[in-house]
Structure 1
Amino acid sequence: MKFSSLYCFLLLLVIQTDFGQNEETSRKERRKMYYRRQRKSSSPIHRSSRQLGIQQMRIVTPAATLPMVNLDYSTEEKFESFLRFPGVEASYNVLPGKKGHCLANGMIMYNKAVWSPEPCTTCLCSNGRVLCDETKCHPQMCPQTVTPEGECCPVCSDTEQREPTSLLHKQQPSPWVEMHQALRKEELQFEEEEEIKQDEDREQKEKIPRPGDWGRPPNERQSREGGEQRPGEKGRQAHQHRNPARENENEDEDEDEDEDDDDAVRGDMFRMPSQLPIPATPRGIPPLPSRCSLSYKTISCISADLTQIPPLTAPEITSLELIGNSITSIPDEAFNGLPNLERLDLSRNNITSSGIGPKAFKLLKKLMRLNMDGNNLVAIPSELPSTLEELKINENNLQVIDEESLSDLNQLATLELEGNSLSETNVNSLAFKPLKSLSYLRLGRNKFRIIPQGLPASIEELYLENNQIEEITEISFNHTRKINVIVLRYNKIEENRIASLAWINQENLESIDLSYNKLYHVPSYLPKSLLHLVLIGNQIERIPGFVFGHMEPGLEYLYLSFNKLVDDGIDQVSFYGAYHSLRELFLDHNELKSIPPGVPEMKALHFLRLNNNKIRNILPEQICNSEEDGDSTLEHLHLENNYIKTREISPYAFSCIRSYSSVVLKPQNIK
């Protein structure tokens, strides 16, 4: 019996040892990877940078929830993807426009942008620098505190209440209510003191000691009776001793004044009314039409069923809003009573060019902003004030801009003429010449077939989307040395119709959007100052070698989503010149079967999208370089919707990435 038991024990020991040896290698590899990841991600810098990146993602873009698989294939987690593609034509709004934006963990933050990477931290982008400030909490002088959900500072907890969440659900009085209660308490106390003082005055007049003074020494009573008078008491005594022989009308007036004075002394002017008062129309302004309102120096008649501009005489008004009415004409005398207007909004009416008087805007010597979107204009109104800084005539039927249309507008900085019938045939080449200060020009949704000629030298941002532009000539941007952003999406441009000298010598051009054109490969001779290149929705099959090699300081954002890129169209020299600078590379929704070469050499890369391709496997050296021991800068790697068998991925394939949650692998296609 003992021999049998000993035999079974030895047999069990052999089986357990053999089973452990079979899994020893994989377990050691997983344990090695786990502790390596722990060491690399344990520093405060790594943790804070990951948290900052995730918070910024939630601020900038709506997140889509996607499943995520761990490298040990044991559990599944949830991760928020960087961008969500609503359809085939994804919309990328990545052009910063102006200099001075900040880069915080790969995210573009505009100048003066404010965001909160953590609940108690606020960051500001100030001319390229990120300045963060932590919220300081005041110490609470109470035995127990509680931090409400979504707040960063604790508040005192009511220990007498048994319900733990009662503090969170208790409705706190507003500051106005607290102020009203305090003032009311002070008012009652003051009234009580006034009654006592009136009794003292009456006793002094009648020389009768107060009941409370019986038995007191005379000198003490004299000290009380001879005390200083309270502020405003002399005025009230004067009213109490006024001449009784006055006429009744004077007495009534004095009583009213007495009441007003008493109210002022008692502090009733600070008392909150039970209902908010309706602001009265200032003197000099005739009664406003129904459904119109007055706020400070602005008259608003939005969707008020007006058929004409109401007659107003109000020199103090600086803003007039007549949006969404049925106004058809603007006579010469329409704004004679509003000489100080600075902003005039006439959008969404039925105003025609023939209905505008030749001197309708002439007397508005201070007008800076004019909005006439959504009307029936066929020409720009004449004799516009030279003080204009912003002019919007979008969604009209403009059919001509001649040499005199924009004359004398030398202070105009913003001009928007989208959604009209403009083309190179009805826009004079000298039309924009008077605009010496123009920096922002929108001509989208028109009928241009070439870049408009005669653009002012001051132009910085040019938007020509949804036109019929087919080529970009060498003279298109000859005089625009300050231009920073060019948007040409939804046109008919082919790469061989872009002249080699069209924009290569531009020194300030940082952003170009050529999405949804007819490009078959990435254009050559791009500006050497380029930072953002958007080529979404073309027919691009190839990225030529050294196409980014001449750029300084180097391309940072390259978007090639929704194209026809194949493995043979990308080689090691395709990204030459951008390895040190590229931060975001979007190659999703293409026809790639493997990871493009050169990814491990991209030292600044934060976001890589390879989802929705035909990738089947991931080799260990395709994303992480085993020879380098440092962490990768990659924060988001998307590989979902390919044909990858996640269980066959090498455990070292993503060893350089800081966090497993940065890798999105699911779902995968089954084929």
Structure 2
Amino acid sequence: MKHAVLFCLILLIIFQTDCEQREQGTGKQRKRIHQRRLRKSSSLHHRANRQLGNQQTAAAAEATLPTTNSDYSVEENLESLLSPLGVESSYNVLPGKKGHCFVKGMIMYNKAVWSPEPCSTCLCSNGRVLCDETVCHPKTCPYTIKPEGECCPICSDAEQRESIDLLHKQVKPPQMEMDQIVIKEALQSEEEEDMKEHMEHKKETSGPTTLHSDEERVEGKLRPEEERRSARQPLYHGRGEEEDDDEESEGEGEKEEEDAIRGDVFRMSPKLMPGTPRGRPRLPGSCALSYKTISCIHAAFTQIPPITAPEVTSLELAGNSIISIPDEAFNGLPNLERLDLSRNNITSSGIGPKAFKVLKKLMRLNMDGNNLVHIPSELPSTLEELKINDNNLQAIDEESLSDLNQLVTLELEGNNLSEINVNPLAFKSLKSLSYLRLGKNKFRIIPQGLPASIEELYLENNQIEEITEICFNHTRKINMIVLRYNKIEESRIAPLAWINQENLESIDLSYNKLYHVPSYLPKSLLHLVLIGNQIERIPGYVFGHMEPGLEYLYLSFNRLSDDGVDLVSFYGAYHSLRELFLDHNDLKSIPPGIQEMKALHFLRLNNNKIRNILPEQICNVEEDEDSALEHLHLENNYIKTREISSYAFSCIRLYSSIVLKPQKIK
């Protein structure tokens, strides 16, 4: 009996130990699975965080200062409201051209598709940039290679397989059969990592090894020097031979230069690897090559480095100390499409007359932040974008832009341009120009001779005082005009200045000298920005002639009072107005007609002097179901929130979108 009990106890201990070991193994396995899931989802979280970055920033700002909800309107981009104590607003609400995307200073039109990197594709979709990584389909072939500049691996052909087999015979992975291994697995071994590092070093110091058949040698197809080079350079050198090779390459300068152009010893024939460039260009130590872009930003260059790379399409030299551009500067880069020379010290006298002539494919040229006094001559006729902001341009004559008939974007902000030194015929040849920036100059009137193709015109921070009848006579396609921070009065806007424009949808007249909302506004107007003026009154029927009707009206930071707003002030916009900003004014009550605005989504009345909210000033109880109002700001008034009727906000579906606190106490 005792022996039986003892035997049972031993069995119980063994069983318990086995269970614990299994449980520990299961726990470890679960932990590994959990970690793999975390790693797999990290990229998705990272992408989601990037997409929600702006929303999180807006949410953080909402905790301190009231801002608009960026989720509501894509077209609206409002910065935080500043304190009402005499501080100007930093609103920037005028939308860009419908559907356009702004990417790193470049304009991408709606539905445009581009690849910023070899393994990613981006789409401009109604003003939003959507990017996705290329998904590589699995290959069924036993041997694959990934060509330089390509995203996905491809199947290798017979000649490539022979060279790969030769590599594997020389460096055998331990305890693995050659017919069961692919290149990706072989490179994981330590010996082949050494070989890979050695080959990267040989790219810059050795010439190519070409695999020739015995028949070629017999028939005499190889030149003696090629045959000697092939015999002298084996496919793979051990680590002990690297130093000898380096000394030999240093002693043969001409050979080194030739080999650097031809490439590394492992590259196959271009016929076998389509899309592979002939050789990696020799670059200065502070430059980097990514796909077809050479980047030498903040490299302390005082002159343009000599680079020979016919396959390169983009060169970035921003943030250096370059003074001049000689005629031969870009002879080694004939296929450049984009050139960034911004933030240097380049002068007009330092640019050779033929400096850009060799660039027959150049489409984008950025020379912002230099010391140019006039536009460079002999610019390529292929240019589509030219930026010369923040220079010292003194004049634009008739010939300055004469050959740029494909130019779409021209930016000349922050110079010394005015109607005196800009020839009225300066823009005559720009038949494709649609985007023109002339802000931060010294214009007192709208520049004359604007091209008929112009769609967006930016003239902020000038000294413009009036808008005459002939300013926009020939610009029937114009869609947006930005005139903020000028000296315009409503009486200096001619009645026929723009009233008959059929495509003009957006006007920004913020921070001018307006006392009333201007009359004779364009019939097609959708966005009107009048922030930071001295407006005291909205005249009756001022929006009555507009079709299809004004949708966005921003009157923040003005002097509107109850006497300056009545029922007929918004006549013509009751059916169309979507956003109405009346914050930071002198209103003591809710303006009349708000409850009649059936399309209104966003209403700002914060930072006024409002004391009471009557039941039907904002919501009409009988028509609550038809209301579109989603966001309401009433903070920083004198409202006693406990006295507000329970029906005052009955038309607003989400009470969380009603901002009532804080209120002032007088």
TM-score (norm 2): 0.66
Question: 1:566-609 CA deviation, whole Å, 9 max, x = no partner?
Answer: 00000000000000000000000000000000000000000000
Distance across 2 between alignment mates of 1:65 and 1:313: 53
Counterpart for residue 471 of structure 1: 466
Using the aligned pairs only, state the percent identity: 79
* Partner in structure 2 of residue 608 of structure 1: 603
SS in 2 for 1:533: strand
Give the secondary structure class of the aligned counterpart of 2:289. Answer: strand
Aligned to 2:566: 571
Q: How does 1:18-37 map to 2 (within 5 A)?
A: none
| Amino acid in the other structure paired with 2:88 | E
| Structure 1 counterpart of 2:616 | 621
1:573 match: secondary structure: helix
- Helix, strand or coil at the partner of 1:354: helix
Q: How big is the shift at 1:338?
A: 1.3
| Residue 504 (structure 2) pairs with residue 488 (structure 1) | no
- 1:456 partnered with 2:455: no
**Partner SS, residue 585 of structure 2:** coil
Amino acid paired to 2:170:
E
How far 1:91 moved relative to its partner? 2.9
Seen in structure 2, the aligned counterparts of structure 1 residues 125 and 669 have a Cα distance that, compared at 3 Å, is: farther
Structure 1 equivalent of residue 392 of structure 2: 397
Contact map agreement 1:419 1:446 (CA 8 A) in 2: yes
- Relative to structure 1, the CA distance from residue 653 to residue 286 in structure 2 (aligned partners, 3 Å threshold; closer, same or farther) is closer
- Partner residue, 2:98: 99
2:288 matches 1:289: no
Q: Which is worse superposed, 627-636 or 459-468?
A: 627-636
Picking from 78, 86, 89, the partner of 2:82 is 86
1:320 counterpart (312, 315, 320): 315
Look up the match of 2:645.
650
Query: What is the identity, as a one-letter code, of the residue corresponding to 1:86?
Result: L
Amino acid at match of 1:305: A
Q: Distance in 1 between matches of 2:343 and 2:54?
A: 36
Distance 1:56 1:308, change over 3 A: closer
Query: 2: distance between equivalents of 1:64 and 1:295?
Result: 37
Aligned letter for 2:89?
A
Q: Provide the aligned C-alpha RMSD in A.
A: 3.6
Choose 1 or 2 for highest CA Rg: 1
Residue from 184, 199, 208 that aligns with 1:270: 184
Deviation at 1:265, TM superposition (A): 5.1
Query: How far apart, in 2, do the equivalents of 1:101 and 1:334 lie?
Result: 34
The answer (yes or no) to whether the contact 1:66–1:80 under 8 Å persists in 2 is no
- The residue that corresponds to 1:517 in the other structure is 512
Show structure 1 runs of 5+ residues with no match: 1-54, 69-77, 103-109, 114-123, 133-174, 184-230, 240-253
Paired amino acid for 1:428: N
CA-CA distance at 1:289 after TM superposition? 1.4
Structure 1 stretch displaced more, 569-578 or 313-322: 313-322
Of 414, 419, 424, the residue aligned with 2:419 is 424
Letter paired with 1:93 = N
SS in 2 for 1:512: strand
String of CA shifts for 1:498-544, please: whole Å, max 9, x gaps.
11101000000000000000000100000000000000000000000
Give yes or no for contact 2:340–2:367 (8 Å, CA) kept in 1: yes
- Given that residues 449 and 467 in structure 1 are in contact (C-alpha distance below 8 angstroms), is that contact kept between their aligned partners in structure 2? yes
What SS does the aligned partner of 1:647 have?
helix
Q: Distance in 2 between matches of 1:59 and 1:486?
A: 31
In the alignment, structure 1 residue 590 sits paired with structure 2 residue 582: no
1:529 equivalent in alignment to 2:443: no
For residue 259 of structure 1, what is the aligned residue in structure 2?
170
Which range moved further: 330-339 or 255-264?
255-264
Q: State how far apart, in whole Å, the 2-side matches of 1:533 and 1:80 are.
A: 17
Call closer, same or farther: CA 1:586–1:80 in 2, change over 3 Å: closer
Code of the residue aligned with 2:502 in structure 1: it is: E
Q: Larger relative contact order (C-alpha < 8 A, sep ≥ 6)? A: 1
- The aligned residue for residue 369 of structure 1 is 364
Deviations 1:45-92 (A, max 9, x none): xxxxxxxxxx99937945544699xxxxxxxxx999666313533333
Q: Conserved in 2, the CA contact under 8 Å of 1:417 and 1:442?
A: yes
Q: Secondary structure at the match of 1:294?
A: strand
Give TM-score, length-normalised by structure 1: 0.66
1:9-408, aligned counterparts within 5 Å? 58=55, 61-62=58-59, 64-65=61-62, 84-87=80-83, 88-99=87-98, 258-259=169-170, 267-271=181-185, 272=187, 283=262, 287-408=282-403
Q: Secondary structure of the equivalent of 2:491?
A: helix
**Could you tell me whether the CA contact under 8 Å between 2:67 and 2:81 is conserved in 1?**
no
Q: Give the count of matched residue pairs.
A: 479
Q: Is the 8 A contact 1:64 1:81 kept in 2?
A: no
2:575 corresponding residue in structure 1: 580
CA contact (8 A) 2:434 2:453 kept: yes
Alignment correspondent of 1:446: 441
Look up the SS of the partner of 2:621 in the other structure.
Answer: coil
Decide whether the 8 Å contact of 2:168 with 2:178 is kept in 1. Answer: no
Partner AA of 1:425 in structure 2: I
- Give the letter for the 2:609 counterpart: K
**Partner SS state of residue 567, structure 2:** coil
Q: Which of the numbers 636, 641, 648 marks the counterpart of 2:636?
A: 641
**Displacement after TM superposition at 1:411 (Å):** 0.4
Structure 1 pair 261–316 and aligned structure 2 pair: CA distance change class (3 A): farther
Q: Which runs of 5+ in 2 are unaligned?
A: 1-51, 71-77, 102-108, 113-122, 143-156, 205-259, 263-278
Residues 97 and 484 in structure 1, CA contact (< 8 A), matched pair in contact too: no
Q: Counterparts of 1:100 and 1:569 in 2: how far apart (Å)?
A: 36
Q: Classify 1:493/1:374 alpha carbon distance in 2 versus 1 (closer, same or farther; 3 Å).
A: same
Give, in angstroms, the shift of residue 648 of structure 1: 1.2
The CA deviation at 1:618 is 0.7
Aligned equivalent of 1:504, options 491, 499, 507:
499
Note the C-alpha offset of 1:111.
Answer: 5.6
Contact kept, 8 Å, 2:624 with 2:650, in 1: the verdict is: no
SS of 2:623's equivalent in the other structure is: coil
Question: What is the distance in 1 between the residues matched to 2:178 and 2:404?
Answer: 53
Q: Post-superposition shift, 1:94?
A: 2.9
Contact 1:443 1:463 in 2 (8 A): yes
Distance apart, 1:320 and its partner CA: 1.1
| Deviation sequence 1:466-525 (CA, Å, 0-9, x none) | 111111110111110000010000111110011110100000000000000000010000
**Are the aligned partners of 2:58 and 2:69 in contact in 1 as well (CA < 8 Å)?**
no
Q: 1:125 to 1:574 in 2, by over 3 A?
A: farther
1:530-545 aligned within 5 A: 530-545=525-540
> Equivalents in 1 of 2:111, 2:434: separation in Å?
20
* Whole-Å separation in 1 of the counterparts to 2:100 and 2:576: 16
Per-residue deviation, 1:99: 3.4
